[in-house]
Amino acid sequence: MRSAPKKPIQWELNLLAFPALILVFIFAYVPMFGVVMAFQDYDYQLGFFGSPFVGFTNFEFLFTTGAIWKVTANTLFLNAVFILAGMAGSVVLALLMYELTNKKAIKTYQTILVFPNFMSWIIAAYMFYTFLNPRYGMLNQALTGLGLEPVKWYSDPSVWPVILTVTSLWKGVGMGSLLYYAVLMGIERDYFEAAAIDGATKWQTIKKITLPFLIPTMTILLILSVGGIVRADFGLFYFMPQDSKALYPVTDVIDTYVFRALRNMNEPGMAAAAGFLQSTVGFFLVLGANAFVRKIAPENSLF
């Protein structure tokens, strides 16, 4: 029996990918060696090879304080809300843009929606501060003009889960919608023409044609997002609330808690332990989410 011919090596494509592979290796794989700091009493003068190993002592910092359980709950809850709300918002925006036929209008809307993604959280925090300032903020000025009592936004924890969700959507939903819009652009128009001939309504077309094409991409992005559910956006949770102590019960997450706790202690080993723990939990969450998806819909799993 003749063996199948070997496929030629595509040197041109490999050459194009080579610079990106080098960058990934330098910035994603080489730094992994620093995980040894999580098990050391790290000394800057002794370095990686000279600092003494202390086992799991650095991890005791995370579990011997009662506050860690509260900030962990905040991290999981708020990130879960961000993931679900962000996915829903991105899909809705993609569907709305897909209905547009004017190319100039599409480009204009896409530019407006994507622009916040490139804005620093520091700048965004001061922008929102002009709205939420207790005395001179635009929202309180409007409330006063309506005869209502002004709200002390930076002292009222109850409103901040909503504020953080809104700001997270404002910054990221535009970029997220571009990926779903690209998927929609790849759908053959014949499906929609056949649906129109059969008298399908707009909702029936979305339900029977559009969403089934989006579900595989939504599933993969959801699996990847679950892996980062224990790693919060530091800029969002630190700068947006203006580091107000009154808001810690609802805005303090693992990243900000570790930052505040270690800022005065200057213990890089403890910070490395926190990062290592977050990465490990995220890794197993990705495996678990993918196994769950593979069980109910194997064709939509990541691997």
Residue 81: which CATH number? 1.10.3720.10
Asked, for residue 14, whether it belongs to a domain, the answer is: no
In tens, the pLDDT along 130-188 reads 888 888 888 888 988 888 888 889 998 999 999 999 999 999 999 999 999 999 998 88
- Tell me the CB-side half-sphere exposure of residue 57, using CA atoms within 13 A: 12
Tell me what pLDDT residue 2 has. 56
Tell me what pLDDT residue 285 has. 87
Tell me what pLDDT residue 7 has. 64
Range 233-264 burial, b when 16+ CB lie within 10 A, else e: beebbbbbbebeeebbebbbbbbbbbeebbee
- Alpha-carbon torsion (38, 39, 42, 48), positive or negative: negative
Q: What is the DSSP string of 258-294?
A: HHHHHHTT--HHHHHHHHHHHHHHHHHHHHHHHHHHH
- Tell me the CB-side half-sphere exposure of residue 61, using CA atoms within 13 A: 26
Asked, for residue 26, whether it belongs to a domain, the answer is: no
Tell me what pLDDT residue 275 has. 83
Asked, for residue 121, whether it belongs to a domain, the answer is: yes
Asked, for residue 19, whether it belongs to a domain, the answer is: no
Asked, for residue 185, whether it belongs to a domain, the answer is: yes
Asked, for residue 209, whether it belongs to a domain, the answer is: yes
CA 75 to chain CA centroid, Å, is: 12
Tell me what pLDDT residue 227 has. 84
Tell me what pLDDT residue 85 has. 94
d(CA 221, CA 228): 11
d(CA 79, CA 77): 6
Helix, strand or coil, per DSSP, at residue 1: coil
Query: One digit per residue, pLDDT tens: the chain, 303 residues?
Result: 455 566 666 788 888 889 999 999 999 899 888 888 889 888 888 888 888 998 888 888 777 777 778 888 899 999 999 999 999 999 999 999 988 888 888 889 888 999 999 999 999 999 999 888 888 888 888 988 888 888 889 998 999 999 999 999 999 999 999 999 999 998 888 888 888 888 888 888 988 889 999 998 998 888 888 888 888 889 999 999 988 889 999 999 988 888 887 777 777 888 888 888 888 888 888 888 888 888 888 887 777
Split into its structural domains, the chain has a count of 1
Give the range of the structural domain holding residue 130, as residue numbers without chain letter: 58-300
Asked, for residue 100, whether it belongs to a domain, the answer is: yes
Asked, for residue 79, whether it belongs to a domain, the answer is: yes
